[in-house]
């Protein structure tokens, strides 16, 4: 065989030509909602004035309520929405082929404003109350979602968030009642949820049982255990189910900011921990050694193994850590918002948290925002219930789940899970 | 650093993958480990790298016995490895991949990305790699990804560097560049182990050659040895590098592809404006370095690629837009390149696998019900006809050796009425005996007047089988040349050079 | 999956996986030392010790033991006796024994046979109760098992049962038909309802690659709120004049006849649905093992990539399998509203069957007859659990604990083996991908 002289050029990398793809999903969805707005504006118009209350009586700085004429406002916003939808069409038809995200965000905010204005004609929307309620419903979702993000970034699907929340709430209630110390109760919640994690980790990592199956079965197990003890022990001895709650600590200064101050900074320590946790998980995942290794293990475990990272040990302890984080969310029920344990009290929050993980594309910040969005939707239902809404409350409650279905179906954004999510690592 | 392996033995159950292997690599030496697919080369290197634990024997570095519990230990001792399948996290940047596992940090565990970038740049500049530390790995071409693997090893001050089949995914051009890099590393005093089964590369770069076969060292050879000598050492007998076949007797144009394009999920053209024809009774081989669109081309023929434009006609019938089922029914036989993933259901029996693409209608299905007796008779017949070595037709396909698995696939595909036969990498990973069997069957199909397409990245196979050769490069066909085109011309074409195609 | 625990002679043990070891080394000329086969008696013993049945049995034993511990530690009598344990340890053990044996005896009496109930017709009634509870568990378990065999999960039993119940319920009270026809129509309506609801997940997976686990979980809640809304809406599912979210009762012509109707004795609640469950089991067995559709299902379940290359439409299989699974779930929903709670239902009509079904399918190892018998076992636990709750004051929730422990243990045979120090089987299924999860790329076509 003769060796030929190396050919010139040709060392350039294989870069394939891009095909132009036009995605019509966003314009279609926006178009449908714009149509709904037009219906509100012209076919089922509500007249009168809509009031948005911006302050509560205890706030330091009182803001005057925002009063808008209902029909005109809805018409104006509906027209804006139509323009936004057309803008999205233009992006797809004449522009880069895809509508940018900001158009959807602006659209969503405008649509919500139009809807609230239309619904509350001649009535009052209490904005601070709505936000407080949103946060209260979001806290467990956000903790659950953070736990989900940690676990799934490491490659272990966590369907057991529901069980971890419930067991965290249960542990906090019992230990909090016995010790009378909310801090110890909080730690107990973390340990309790971590125990659930240990089972998940042991079965899925050591025994290679399908992670979805372990998660589903664990949820049943926790419901069974907590309900059993609740019926058998807690109901006969209520002193075991009266934990001392965390006090509210308003943060001086910050809590006096109009509208948002009281909502965000007149809270218990659990909510403050949440703010820190969101930041820490984000920072940790993307800026630290821990996060780099965790993500490596979830994306390409074999690559991690070949550089000396113990894949299964990393996964095991991070699933445990995820449990501890979810546990704080569980404690929020019994040490803050509710104050005692109730049978199956998490009521599907763990699954909404799972939805937030997916909708948030396995990113802690996005997942937190998704948790807030879902909390908002759930809360909106009760607000609308008070002012009397044409939309049945059940449909509002359905919203997070429907949105998630759209999300996983790729209608809203594209979600790409960690490559090795759900697959056990079997060392050769 | 001097590396020495003494009496390494590794067993998997009853199977001895490495049998008392001795190997010494001096610093500043390129030592080739030559062997067939499955001779035990990779197992040996995984033992060296701490991924497997040896059952017997010891590893010495500078005459000191080492105990590696895992790759981490091996790396700490100065062993680096460039894996056959790159061990890179696709969504990470180059810098993140390089630092993974021995991260530079400042403060409590906070990554020092600036330091990692500087390290990548420093090594990259030292060897003229031209790698951007902030590029996302999955967006890099394979040749550059391999350099990232090398940087990864060098960033840990590897004194012994193992290259495991590094040229499989490279163009001849990139291969030459890799050789240059290896020589450069050698000059710098690194001990290099180069694992391959390609004779040309061995002869070009090796200082010493150790040949292993069936898990045993069969001897050392000098780089001056001829191809034939090396090949016969490698396979244990004189090898016929060509297959005896009569000249083709091609008929009319039967299979026509024109202006075919395929777009992948990342919206890239992976096949662009490809046109060719195959006549009845001829073998068209599609050559090219892996990843230049061959896989997608064959998948498009079968109807597996959803975003296909252009035209594919078989005996005048348009195939684009048809379902896989309809394409198969049109008479296309297909041997997929990854038989374990796409060719067989490992948990199914041989019999079930033999009816896999005939689960509709006669002879194996009547009124929606499986005809198990007909299937058993058929399977028994094929077992004998194709010499499938198995306990019986109820043996699970996953338990067969690679050669026997491929025979099952061939038996299934060749037992239908065919009007076109497409075989993608039909002998990848097979032993010599099976390769001969497969080649004979392919030539038989041609002689029966069927148009045949063989896709192969192995130039030897292309040259042995082809009546005509189409070379693919970056999704397009560089040229279609006669089967007796010299290898160096083909090599240039595989690198995208169209000048040689005039031949 | 396989009944064979020893590899065929001449093959290397399965533990040596093709992915790790270059396969060619198993070629005949490779140096493969073959051990002599062990003596026959030894082998038989080994097969028993390493069989799936033994693992299942031991898992059940461990789960019942854990249940016993829960019962004992929460029993006030035991707690009291334990207070003076070091003075009179015997009291504690006696209290534990009484507590646990009392519980499990009442479980047995509630699930199988209760001699205290007088004549045989009454004494055997608990067994018919077990079968009544088992009926929806079997069909729902078959539904989940079917999807497992196709490599999918159907976690959406709850939603499908709710929708099916609504469909069957609506037909049962708003259409007037003669009995056999009415029963048939209402049952078919349930199957269609369940199929449509599950079909959403199937279509989304096939068309967009949306993971069916997430979709079915979310659809559970969508169905729950949808049915809750309809049950609150007069003219939809709410009973006329009612002010609670409850449906009207089924017309008698749509109600499944009971065993007592047939025999003319006793007050058995066991109904026609059980016959449907038997038929469904036989049908699924035929489908999976003898039909060409089942062949394609299994091919897709084991290796969707190879199935796709072999011309099997993976997307169609996903959709059809999900539709059939939903139809079986629908049968469970029909059994609830036409057989068990015929006097009108609320939004809790699914009674957790959708989730129980997953455990039933796992215990039955996704084989039709395995599911049938595990459905009966869990039916017995439920029937007995209610008796235990009534007579011993032990919350029914303990059944959930026992059930989930059984399933966890069955899913991890090595754990059970290490608890009981059983030998490892020769052919321990290698740690390979059991289920090739299809990636969206593989599916979208």
Each domain of chain A, given as residue ranges in start order, spans 25-122, 128-408
Q: Quick: pLDDT tens for B24-39.
A: 999 999 999 888 766 7
Q: What is the pLDDT of residue C443?
A: 31
State mean pLDDT over A69-87. 89
More confident residue, B496 or B451: B451
Chain B neighbors of C2, CB-CB under 8 A: 396
The DSSP result for B188-257, as a single string, is TT-EEEEEES-HHHHHHH-SEEEEEETTEEEEEE-TTS-HHHHHHHHHSS----S---PPP---SEEEEE
Residue B331 has pLDDT above 90, yes or no: yes
Q: What is the pLDDT of residue C9?
A: 36
Q: What is the pLDDT of residue C38?
A: 45
Alpha-carbon gap, residue B466 to B443, rounded angstroms: 10
Q: Quick: pLDDT tens for A200-246.
A: 999 999 888 889 889 999 999 999 999 999 998 998 888 989 898 89
Chain B neighbors of C295, CB-CB under 8 A: 352, 355, 359, 370
Q: Quick: pLDDT tens for C107-140.
A: 999 898 888 888 888 898 999 999 999 999 999 9
Rg of chain C over all Cα atoms, to the nearest angstrom: 25
Q: Quick: pLDDT tens for C180-225.
A: 899 999 999 999 999 999 999 999 998 888 888 889 989 999 999 9
Any C CB within 8 A of A199 CB: yes
Q: Do B306 and C445 touch (CB under 8 A)?
A: yes
With CA atoms as reference, the chain C residue closest to A419 would be: C439
Q: Quick: pLDDT tens for C299-349.
A: 999 999 999 999 999 999 999 999 999 999 999 999 999 998 888 888 888
Interface test with C, best of A218, A228, A348, A422 (most C CBs within 10 A): A228
pLDDT tier at C51 (50, 70, 90 boundaries)? low
CB-CB contact of B119 with B141 (8 Å):
no
Where b means 16+ CB within 10 Å and e means fewer, B154-178 reads bbbebbbbbbbbbbbbbbbbbbbbb
Any B CB within 8 A of A296 CB: yes
Residue C361 has pLDDT above 80, yes or no: yes
More confident residue, B117 or B174: B117
Interface test with C, best of B11, B12, B395, B430 (most C CBs within 10 A): B12
CB-CB contact of C170 with C308 (8 Å):
no
Interface test with A, best of C79, C199, C392, C401 (most A CBs within 10 A): C401
State mean pLDDT over B235-255. 74
Q: Do A10 and B173 touch (CB under 8 A)?
A: yes
Which chains share 3+ C-beta pairs under 8 angstroms with A? Answer: B, C
Residue B406 CB contacts under 8 Å (≥ 6 apart), including other chains = B335, B339, B343, B426, B427, B430, B434, B438
Alpha-carbon gap, residue C112 to C103, rounded angstroms: 14
CB-CB contact of C134 with C379 (8 Å):
yes
Chain B neighbors of A306, CB-CB under 8 A: 49, 51, 71, 81, 83, 87
Of C292, C303, C308, the CB nearest to B346: C303
The H-assigned helical ranges of C52-153 are: 52-73, 76-83, 89-111, 120-123, 125-149
pLDDT tier at A18 (50, 70, 90 boundaries)? low
With CA atoms as reference, the chain C residue closest to B213 would be: C25
Q: What is the pLDDT of residue C17?
A: 35
Q: Quick: pLDDT tens for B190-237.
A: 999 998 877 778 888 889 999 888 888 888 888 888 777 777 777 665
Q: How far is C146 from chain B (nearest CA, A)?
A: 17
Alpha-carbon gap, residue A372 to A367, rounded angstroms: 9
Q: What is the pLDDT of residue A143?
A: 97
Q: How far is A85 from chain B (nearest CA, A)?
A: 25
Q: What is the pLDDT of residue C172?
A: 93
Q: Do A18 and B269 touch (CB under 8 A)?
A: yes
Q: How far is B392 from chain A (nearest CA, A)?
A: 29
Q: Specify the long-range contacts of residues A383-390, CB closer than 8 Å, at least 24 apart.
A: A383/A125, A383/A126, A383/A129, A383/A130, A383/A133, A384/A119, A387/A119, A387/A120, A387/A123, A387/A124, A387/A125, A388/A123, A389/A119, A390/A119
To the nearest whole number, what is the mean pLDDT of chain C? 83
Of C8, C25, C292, the CB nearest to B395: C8
More confident residue, B485 or B229: B485
Q: Quick: pLDDT tens for B414-455.
A: 998 999 999 999 988 787 778 888 999 999 999 999 999 999
Q: How far is B64 from chain C (nearest CA, A)?
A: 29
More confident residue, A363 or B266: A363
Q: Quick: pLDDT tens for C411-434.
A: 888 888 888 888 776 544 333 333
With CA atoms as reference, the chain C residue closest to A358 would be: C214
Residue C1 has pLDDT above 60, yes or no: no
List the single range of A95-109, A176-190, A307-321, C238-252 with lowest mean pLDDT. Answer: A95-109
Q: Do B324 and C308 touch (CB under 8 A)?
A: yes
More confident residue, B40 or C96: C96
Q: What is the pLDDT of residue C426?
A: 52
Q: Look at the alpha carbons of B233, B234, B237, B242 in this order and tell me if their dihedral is positive or negative.
A: negative
Any A CB within 8 A of C416 CB: no
Q: How far is B201 from chain C (nearest CA, A)?
A: 22
Q: Do A216 and C414 touch (CB under 8 A)?
A: no
Give B85's DSSP letter: S
**SS3 category, B165:** coil
Of B42, B365, B396, the CB nearest to C292: B365
CATH of domain A128-408: 1.10.3470
Any A CB within 8 A of C117 CB: no
More confident residue, A362 or C31: A362
More confident residue, B249 or B207: B207
Q: Do B89 and A299 touch (CB under 8 A)?
A: yes
**Phi and psi for A364 in degrees, rounded to 5?**
-60, -40
Hey, what are C169's tokens? Answer: 């319920």
Distances (CA, A) of C277 to A195, C17, C142, C171, C196: 38, 40, 9, 21, 20
Give the burial class of C108: count Cβ atoms within 10 A of its Cβ; 0-12 exposed, 13-18 middle, 19 or more buried.
middle
Beta bridge partners of B213: B216
Instruction: Give chain A as a 3 state SS string.
Output: CCCCCCCCCCCCCCCCCECCCCCCHHHHHHHHHHHHHHHHHHHCCCCCEEEEECCCCCCCCCCCCEEEEHHHHHHHHHHHHHHHHHHHHHHHHHCCCCCCHHHHHHHHHHHHHHHHHHHCCCCEEEHHHHHHHHHHHHHHHHHHHHHHHHHHHCCCCCCCHHHHHHHHHHHHHHHHHHHCCHHHHHHHHHHHHHHHHHHHHHHHHHCCCCHHHHHHHHHHHHHHHHHHHHHHHHCCCHHHHCCCCCCCEECCCHHHCCCHHHHHHEECHHHHHHHHHHHHHHHHHHHEHHHHHHHHHHHCHHHHHHCCCCHHHHHHHHHHHHHHHHHHHHHHHHHHHCCCCCCCCCCCHHHHHHHHHHHCCCCHHHHHHHHHHHHHHHHHHHHHHHHCCCCCHHHHHHHHHHHHHHHHCCCCCCCCCCCCCCCCCCCC
What does pTM read for this prediction?
0.85
Hey, what are B239's tokens? Answer: 């090898």
Residue C13 has pLDDT above 50, yes or no: no
List the single range of A267-271, A272-276, B113-117, B230-234 with lowest mean pLDDT. Answer: B230-234
State mean pLDDT over B157-176. 82
Q: Quick: pLDDT tens for A101-113.
A: 788 888 888 888 8
Instruction: For residue B181, count other CB atoms closer than 10 A to its CB.
Output: 18
Q: Quick: pLDDT tens for C257-307.
A: 999 888 888 889 999 999 999 999 999 999 999 999 999 999 999 999 999
Q: Do B51 and A11 touch (CB under 8 A)?
A: no
Q: Quick: pLDDT tens for B337-381.
A: 888 889 999 889 999 999 998 988 888 999 889 999 999 999 999
Q: Do C228 and A394 touch (CB under 8 A)?
A: yes
Q: What is the pLDDT of residue C14?
A: 35
State mean pLDDT over B227-248. 70
Q: Do B368 and C293 touch (CB under 8 A)?
A: yes
Any A CB within 8 A of C153 CB: yes
Highest mean pLDDT (candidates A21-30, C135-144, C388-397): C135-144
Q: Do C11 and B345 touch (CB under 8 A)?
A: no
Cα B370 to the center of its chain, rounded Å: 37
């Amino acid at each position: 065989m003769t060796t030929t002289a190396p050919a010139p050029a040709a060392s350039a990398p294989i870069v394939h030509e891009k095909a132009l793809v036009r995605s019509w999903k966003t314009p279609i969805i926006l178009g449908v909602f714009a149509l709904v707005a037009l219906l509100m504006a012209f076919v089922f118009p509500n007249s009168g004035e809509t009031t948005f209350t911006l302050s509560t009586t205890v706030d330091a700085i009182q803001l005057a309520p925002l009063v808008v004429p209902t029909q005109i406002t809805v018409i104006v916003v509906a027209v804006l929405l139509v323009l936004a939808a057309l803008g999205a069409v233009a992006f797809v038809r004449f522009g880069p082929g895809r509508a940018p995200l900001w158009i959807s965000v602006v659209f969503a905010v405008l649509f919500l404003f139009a809807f609230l204005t239309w619904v509350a004609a001649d009535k009052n929307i209490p904005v601070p109350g709505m936000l407080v309620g949103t946060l209260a419903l979001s806290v467990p979702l956000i903790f659950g979602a953070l736990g989900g993000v940690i676990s799934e970034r490491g490659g272990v699907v966590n369907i057991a968030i529901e069980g971890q929340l419930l067991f965290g709430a249960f542990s906090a209630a019992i230990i909090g009642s016995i010790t009378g110390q909310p801090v110890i109760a909080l730690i107990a919640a973390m340990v309790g949820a971590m125990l659930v994690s240990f089972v998940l980790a042991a079965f899925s990592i050591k025994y290679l049982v399908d992670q979805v199956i372990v998660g589903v079965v664990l949820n049943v197990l926790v419901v069974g255990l907590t309900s059993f003890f609740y019926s058998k022990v807690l109901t006969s001895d209520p002193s075991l189910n009266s934990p001392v709650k965390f006090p509210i600590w308003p943060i001086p200064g910050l809590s006096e900011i109009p509208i948002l101050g009281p909502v965000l900074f007149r809270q218990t320590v659990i909510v403050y921990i949440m703010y820190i946790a969101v930041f820490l998980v984000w920072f940790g995942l993307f800026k630290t050694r821990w996060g780099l290794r965790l993500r490596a293990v979830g994306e390409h475990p074999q690559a991690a193994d070949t550089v000396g990272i113990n894949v299964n040990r990393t996964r095991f302890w991070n699933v445990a850590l995820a449990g501890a984080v979810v546990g704080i969310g569980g404690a929020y029920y019994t040490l803050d918002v509710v104050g005692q344990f109730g049978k199956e009290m998490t009521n599907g929050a763990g699954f909404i948290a799972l939805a937030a993980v997916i909708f948030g594309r396995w990113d802690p910040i996005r997942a937190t925002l998704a948790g807030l969005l879902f909390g908002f939707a759930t809360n909106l239902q009760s607000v609308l219930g008070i002012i009397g809404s044409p939309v049945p409350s059940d449909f509002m409650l359905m919203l997070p789940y429907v949105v998630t279905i759209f999300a996983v179906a790729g209608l809203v954004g594209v979600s790409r899970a960690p490559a090795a999510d759900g697959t056990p690592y079997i060392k050769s | 650093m001097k590396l020495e392996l003494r009496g390494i033995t590794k067993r998997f159950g009853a199977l001895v993958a490495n049998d008392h292997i001795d190997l010494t690599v001096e610093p500043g030496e390129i030592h080739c480990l030559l062997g067939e697919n499955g001779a035990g080369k990779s197992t040996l290197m995984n033992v060296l790298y701490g991924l497997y634990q040896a059952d017997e024997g010891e590893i010495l570095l500078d005459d000191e016995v080492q105990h590696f519990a895992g790759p981490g230990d091996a790396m700490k001792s100065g062993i680096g490895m460039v894996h056959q399948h790159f061990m890179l996290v696709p969504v990470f940047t180059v810098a993140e991949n390089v630092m993974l596992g021995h991260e530079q940090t400042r403060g409590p565990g906070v990554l020092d990305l600036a330091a990692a970038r500087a390290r990548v740049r420093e090594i990259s500049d030292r060897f003229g790699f031209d790698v951007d530390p902030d590029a996302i790995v999955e967006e890099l071409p394979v040749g550059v990804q391999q350099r990232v693997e090398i940087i990864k090893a060098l960033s840990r001050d590897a004194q012994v560097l193992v290259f495991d089949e590094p040229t499989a995914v490279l163009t001849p051009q990139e291969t030459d560049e890799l050789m240059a890099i290896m020589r450069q590393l050698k000059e710098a005093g690194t001990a290099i182990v180069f694992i391959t089964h390609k004779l040309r590369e061995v002869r070009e770069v090796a200082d010493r050659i150790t040949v292993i076969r069936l898990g045993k060292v069969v001897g050392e050879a000098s780089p001056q040895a001829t191809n034939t000598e090396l090949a016969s050492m490698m396979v244990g007998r004189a090898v016929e590098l060509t297959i005896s076949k009569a000249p083709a007797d091609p008929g009319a144009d039967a299979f026509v592809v024109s202006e075919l394009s395929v777009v992948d999920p990342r919206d890239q053209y992976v096949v662009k404006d490809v046109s060719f024809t195959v006549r009845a009774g001829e073998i068209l081989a599609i050559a090219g370095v892996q990843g230049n669109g061959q896989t997608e081309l064959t998948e498009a023929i079968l109807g597996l690629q959803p975003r296909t434009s252009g035209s594919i006609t078989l005996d005048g019938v348009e195939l684009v837009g048809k379902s896989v089922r309809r394409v198969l029914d049109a008479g296309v036989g297909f041997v997929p390149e990854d038989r374990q993933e796409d060719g067989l259901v490992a948990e199914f029996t041989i019999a079930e696998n033999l009816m896999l693409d005939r689960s509709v209608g006669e002879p194996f299905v009547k009124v929606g019900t499986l005809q198990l007796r007909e299937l058993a008779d058929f399977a028994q017949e094929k077992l004998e006809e194709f010499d499938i070595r198995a306990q019986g037709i109820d043996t699970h396909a996953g338990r067969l050796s690679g050669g026997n698995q491929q025979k099952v696939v061939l038996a299934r595909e060749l037992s239908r009425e065919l009007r076109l036969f497409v075989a993608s990498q039909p002998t990848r990973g097979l032993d010599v005996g099976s390769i001969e069997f497969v080649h004979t069957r392919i030539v038989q199909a041609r002689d029966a007047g069927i148009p045949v397409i063989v896709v192969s990245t192995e130039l030897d196979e292309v040259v042995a089988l082809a009546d005509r050769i189409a070379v693919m490069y970056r999704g397009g066909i560089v040229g279609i040349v006669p089967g007796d085109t010299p290898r160096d011309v083909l090599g240039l074409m595989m690198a995208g050079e169209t000048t040689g195609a005039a031949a | 999956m396989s009944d064979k625990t020893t590899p065929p002679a001449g093959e290397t043990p399965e533990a040596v996986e093709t992915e790790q070891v270059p396969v060619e080394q198993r070629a005949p000329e490779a140096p493969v030392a073959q051990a002599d086969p062990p003596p026959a008696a030894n082998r038989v013993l080994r097969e028993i010790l390493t069989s799936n049945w033994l693992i299942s049995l031991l898992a059940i034993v461990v789960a019942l033991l854990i249940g016993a511990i829960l019962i004992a530690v929460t029993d006030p009598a035991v707690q009291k006796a334990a207070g003076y344990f070091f003075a009179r340890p015997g009291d504690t053990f006696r209290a534990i024994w009484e507590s646990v044996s009392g519980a499990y005896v009442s479980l047995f009496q509630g699930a199988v046979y209760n001699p205290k109930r007088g004549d045989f017709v009454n004494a055997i009634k608990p067994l018919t109760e077990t079968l009544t509870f088992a009926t929806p568990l079997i069909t729902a378990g078959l539904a989940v098992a079917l999807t497992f065999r196709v490599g999918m999960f159907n976690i959406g039993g709850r939603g499908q049962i709710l929708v099916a119940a609504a469909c069957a319920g609506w037909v049962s009270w708003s259409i007037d038909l003669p009995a056999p026809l009415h029963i048939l129509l209402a049952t078919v309506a349930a199957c269609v309802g369940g199929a449509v609801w599950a079909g959403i997940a199937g279509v989304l997976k096939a068309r967009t690659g949306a993971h069916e686990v997430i979709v079915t979980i979310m659809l559970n809640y969508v169905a729950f709120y949808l049915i809750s809304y309809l049950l609150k809406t007069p003219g939809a599912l709410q009973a006329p004049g009612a002010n609670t979210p409850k449906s009207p009762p089924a017309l008698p012509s749509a109600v499944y006849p009971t065993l007592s109707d047939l025999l003319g004795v006793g007050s058995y609640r066991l109904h026609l649905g059980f016959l449907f469950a038997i038929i469904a089991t036989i049908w699924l067995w035929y489908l999976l093992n003898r039909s060409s559709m089942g062949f394609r299902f299994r091919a897709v379940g084991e290796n969707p990539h190879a199935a796709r290359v072999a011309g099997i439409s993976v997307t169609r299989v996903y959709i059809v399998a999900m539709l059939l699974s939903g139809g079986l779930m629908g049968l469970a929903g029909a059994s609830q509203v036409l057989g068990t709670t015929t006097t009108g239902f609320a939004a809790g009509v699914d009674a957790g069957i959708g989730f129980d079904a997953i455990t039933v399918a796992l215990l039955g190892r996704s084989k039709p007859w395995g599911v049938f018998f595990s459905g009966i076992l869990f039916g017995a636990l439920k029937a007995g659990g209610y008796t235990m709750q009534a007579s011993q004051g032990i919350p029914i929730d303990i059944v959930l604990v026992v059930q989930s422990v059984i399933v966890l243990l069955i899913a991890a045979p090595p754990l059970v083996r290490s608890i009981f120090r059983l030998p490892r089987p020769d052919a321990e299924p290698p740690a390979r991908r059991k289920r090739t999860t299809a990636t969206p790329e593989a599916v979208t076509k």
